[in-house]
Each structure stands twice: as structure tokens, then as C-alpha cells.
Structure 1
């Protein structure tokens, strides 16, 4: 999972291929657990493009995407936000959702 800079995050909507953006804040305990789950998924299936960034660094994107809380996983494809996931539940559940979207 790659850590995105503010500049990289600002051009995310230009992507056409499936991309997952993980949004977090440093002081969020639930965010740390969610990131561990995504790290496991990244190791299980490195073909998925997953990036992460502190939501505080991209307020314009957060407003555009209407992000309600963190942690949040944003599903982006064809220059469009298709889904936002707030409840990660489990690694198998998350992996299945991501694999379905990544097809």
C-alpha cells in the first residue's frame, strides 16, 4: 500500500483502472486496525492498487467525495467514485468486496 502525497492524491479522479484509496487520521485507533487489514490484503493480492493518505491533507477531495468519517475506503474506477466503505468488518469480507470491484 503506497503512501500518497498531497499532489498524488489530488489527481486520483483521473485514474481509469480500479483503485482503492484508504483515508485515515493519525490519532484514530479504528484506522490503525483498518490499515492492518488492508496491509494483509495487499500482501495476499498485490495486483490491487491501494493507496493511503491522511484525510487532513486532502480536504478538497474529502468534500468532493462527501466522506462522512474515517476509516474510509474509496473505490475509484473510470474517473468515478463507485463506493465508499466505512465498516471493514473482516479481512475475508473486505477482500471479497475489493476483488469483486477489481474485475
Structure 2
């Protein structure tokens, strides 16, 4: 996972993992996302430490961490708070990042 940059935030198309380093559930969620990235051997998610982006969290009405914020064309499409399982995260990837599966099939 890569730390999100200001340019990427302005681009408005990303899957953003928002976390707190003191959150145990965030560590479990991170492990799921890292496993997905290792399977696909690419960066899929960006990360943001909630402690440093209070304005962003308020602007996008992020209620808690961990949060997977899905943005398309500068619009919030989904906010996932219950990661549940890797299979659950894949349901969002099939909808919002189908290109990662098309590359694997070729």
C-alpha cells in the first residue's frame, strides 16, 4: 500500500484505506488489504493516517476507522467500515476495480 499524495487525492479516483496506528481492527483490515495486493502483485489501495487528515475526514463524513473510502470521479461511492473478510473486500473490487481481474485472465 502506498501513502496517498495530494495529487492522487485531487485526481478523485482511488480506493483509500483510512486508519489509525493505535487501532487493532485497523491492523487486521490492513492485513486483508495487503494480502489482496500480494495476490495481484500491484498497488490497489492507498492509505491515509486519520490522525493527519481531520479536515479530509470531516469533509467526506468518515465516521470511524478502519474505513475503505471508494472514490470515483471525485465522488464518494462507498464507505466500507466492516471489512469482515477478504472475500467481502473482493465484492467491492469486482464492482469498482474490475480491471485487476481482466489483467489476470489474459
TM-score, normalising length from structure 1?
Answer: 0.84
Larger radius of gyration: 2
User: Which consecutive unaligned segments of at least 5 residues does structure 2 have?
Assistant: 99-106
- Cα deviation digits, residues 45-100 of structure 1 (max 9, x gap): 34563100111111111001101000000001111111100000100111121221
Structure with more contact order per residue of length (Cα contacts < 8 Å, sep ≥ 6) = 1
Q: Could you say what the CA RMSD is over the residues aligned between the two structures, in angstroms?
A: 1.8
TM-score, normalising length from structure 2?
Answer: 0.82
Q: 1:73 and 2:93 equivalent? A: no
Distance 1:70 1:55, change over 3 A: same
Q: Which residue of 1 aligns with 2:11?
A: 15
Tell me if structure 2 keeps the 8 A contact 1:74–1:84: yes
Q: How many residue pairs align between the two structures? A: 98
Tell me if structure 2 keeps the 8 A contact 1:20–1:74: yes
Q: Which residue of 2 aligns with 1:97?
A: 92
- Pairwise CA distance, 1:41: 1.1
User: Which consecutive unaligned segments of at least 5 residues does structure 1 have?
Assistant: none
Q: Which residue of 2 aligns with 1:3?
A: 3
